[in-house]
Structures are given as structure tokens and as C-alpha cells.
Amino acid sequence: MNVLVTGATGAIGAALVPRLAEAGHRVRAFARDPARVTDPAVSEVVRGDAVAGTGLAEALDGVDAAYFLIHSMETAAAATDPQAGGFAARDRRAAEQFAAAATAAGVRRVVYLGGLVPRGVASPHLASRLEVEEALLAAAPEAVALRASIVIGARSRSFRFLVRLVERVPVMPLPDWRENRTAPIDARDVTAFLVAAGTADVVRGPLSLDIGGPEVMTYATMIERIRDALLLGRPRLDLPLRLTAVASRIAAAIAGEDPALIEPLMGSLGSDLLPRDDRAAALFGVRRHGFDAAVDRALREWEDAEEIAGR
């Protein structure tokens, strides 16, 4: 198959590209800066910008399956096109441009990785993910949208954010969302799901599937188990308030992260984020890793590149 991967330099895309190549597929990448795409598994790089709509026709020409792994929840993303609005407007515009180009090119399968959604009202971040999903599911006859919880991996921004917070605070202050539940998933399993979603012959029409890990836990439990894996003594302090806007800016500063990324993510923690079912694992035959194994693997890979406190 000829496969296009957008976001090939991100944490998910960089893991996906070699897996696709190992399976015998020809991988084309789409990037604003082709010089950043250095993986030898990439056969071709097309320069373009999904928000601006440039390069999409060339990138999608002759493609059997296309992965949309673009998100723009960062200050730098806004700076590249200040006229495009906030992250939701930028992502909507990118998805619509991509969907139109994929339809025009006759791409049979489009694969998108979004986020799990609550049963009630979705946060602006998750509402944006749903809006992108809807646009992409209409773009190809075998489109697949995967919805994931927090990804546990050495390059996962959300996981690295939590690790840096635990490292750098003497006490772990946990707001009132601490008892809400989710199902964190190993980055290796996300990659396996993505490969199958793009290449398996079991897809018969547009699909929206949830991909969580095998364990459901509260956010407090997740953070405590990361703390334990780091071998750090960090007592927990339960706070009666949320204060997302203020807390996210403080937390981003402590962890050395972009507040434009952290505030929407923290704003999505106000309710349970759980998979609707396990259809994806059964459909694609993916055996999922447990949480502690995922954390240990992620920390070991991270330590290969830099030191982590407490380890």
C-alpha cells in the first residue's frame, strides 16, 4: 500500500512510520519543514501546510491510506498563522482541507487519532476532536477514527508533563478532578491500533472506535503509580477546587511545558473519560499492555536519552 502520514515527526507519527515500513508499505510524509523528517523508512516527503491547504493534492495523489495526526494546541502553532484563530478553528480548517483533498484524490481510507469523550458535555478540547473526527469520517469510504485516553510513552507530551510535575514538586496537589476515571494506554498499543486501522482488511465502512488500556483508574491513582515508578516520595494533597486556568499555567511553568497545550488538556479532566467498549481490540487483534509495564517501558526509553530524577 501507498500510505501518507501527516505529523510524521510527532510522538505518534514517528513511532508509526517504521512500523508501516516494516509491514511492507511505502510511506510518504507530509510536513511544513521536510528537513525535520529524517526517518529512513520514509520514501518521500511532501512540503505543505494542512491549515493553509498547501501541498495536500500532491501528498494525497496515489495514496491508499492517509493518517491525519495533526493537532495545533500550542503557542507556536498559533504564531505560524495568527489569522486562523484558536486551536479549534485551526484544527477545523486543517481537517476540512484535508478531507476535501482526500475525497478529491479518491483515498479509500483515512485514519484519525482523537481523544476519548465524556458521556456529558465535552470540553472545548474534546469537542474540537469530535468536530475533526466528523469531518474525516466523511472523507473516505473506509475512514477510521480512533479515540484514545492519555498515551503512556517516552515521547508522549501528556505523560512527560505528568512525570516532570511529580519530579519537581515536593507535594502533589490534586484538584477535584482527581477521582474521575480513565483508561491510559501504552504508546506501543496505540501504534498497533493505528497500523491495523490503516491496513487491515476488516474495515468495511466508516468506524469510530475507542482504544483504552486494559485498566480503568482514577487520575489520582495514575499519578501515584507514576510517582511510585519514579521511586519518589511525594505526599498527595487533595484540593477542594479545580481552578483550571490558574492551575494549568502554574503546572506548565513547573513542568517546562506550553500553557497553550496544558490548559485545554487539563480542562478535559472534569469528568470520566472511558472507552465505550472493547470492539477495537477484538476487531484488530491487539493485545494491550498493563499500565505499570507501559510506565516502566516509557521511563526506560526516556532514560536512554536523558536522566530522570529518582531513577
CA-atom Rg of the chain in angstroms: 19
Model confidence pTM above 0.75: yes
CA proximity to 213, closest of 195, 179, 180, 190: 190
As a whole number of angstroms, the distance between CA 227 and CA 219 comes to 12
Percentage helix, strand, coil, to 5, in the chain? 45, 20, 35
Do the Cβ atoms of 69 and 7 come closer than 8 Å?
yes
As a whole number of angstroms, the distance between CA 175 and CA 115 comes to 21
Q: Which three cell numbers stand for residue 143?
A: 475512514
Residue 115 domain-assigned (yes or no):
yes
As a whole number of angstroms, the distance between CA 189 and CA 288 comes to 6
Q: Which three cell numbers stand for residue 21?
A: 515500513
Number of H helices, E strands in the chain: 12, 13
Residue 202 domain-assigned (yes or no):
yes
CA proximity to 182, closest of 159, 155, 198: 159
Residue 310 domain-assigned (yes or no):
no
The neighbouring-strand residues paired with 49 are: 54
Q: End-to-end CA distance of the chain: give it in Å, rounded.
A: 42
- Strand-strand pairing, 42-47 and 65-68: unpaired
Q: Which three cell numbers stand for residue 128?
A: 474540537
55: left (phi > 0), else alpha (psi -120 to 50), else beta? left
- Residue reference for cell 510518504: 28
Residue 189 domain-assigned (yes or no):
yes
Residue 59 domain-assigned (yes or no):
yes
Residue 255 domain-assigned (yes or no):
no
In tens digits, the chain (311 residues) has pLDDT values of: 999 999 999 999 999 999 999 999 999 999 999 999 999 999 999 999 999 999 999 999 999 999 999 986 555 555 455 555 688 999 999 999 999 999 999 999 999 999 999 988 888 889 999 999 999 999 999 999 999 989 999 999 999 999 999 999 999 988 888 999 999 999 999 999 999 999 999 999 899 999 999 999 999 999 999 999 999 999 999 988 766 677 788 888 988 988 888 888 888 888 999 999 999 999 999 999 999 999 999 999 999 988 887 66
How many domains, in total, are found in the chain? 1
Q: Can you state the angle between helices 291-303 and 157-168, rounded to 10 degrees?
A: 80
Residue 62 domain-assigned (yes or no):
yes
Domain span at residue 192? 2-151+183-213+274-288
CA proximity to 30, closest of 67, 71, 72, 73: 67
Residue 53 domain-assigned (yes or no):
yes
Q: Which three cell numbers stand for residue 196?
A: 491495523
Please report, for the domain that includes residue 193, its CATH number.
3.40.50.720
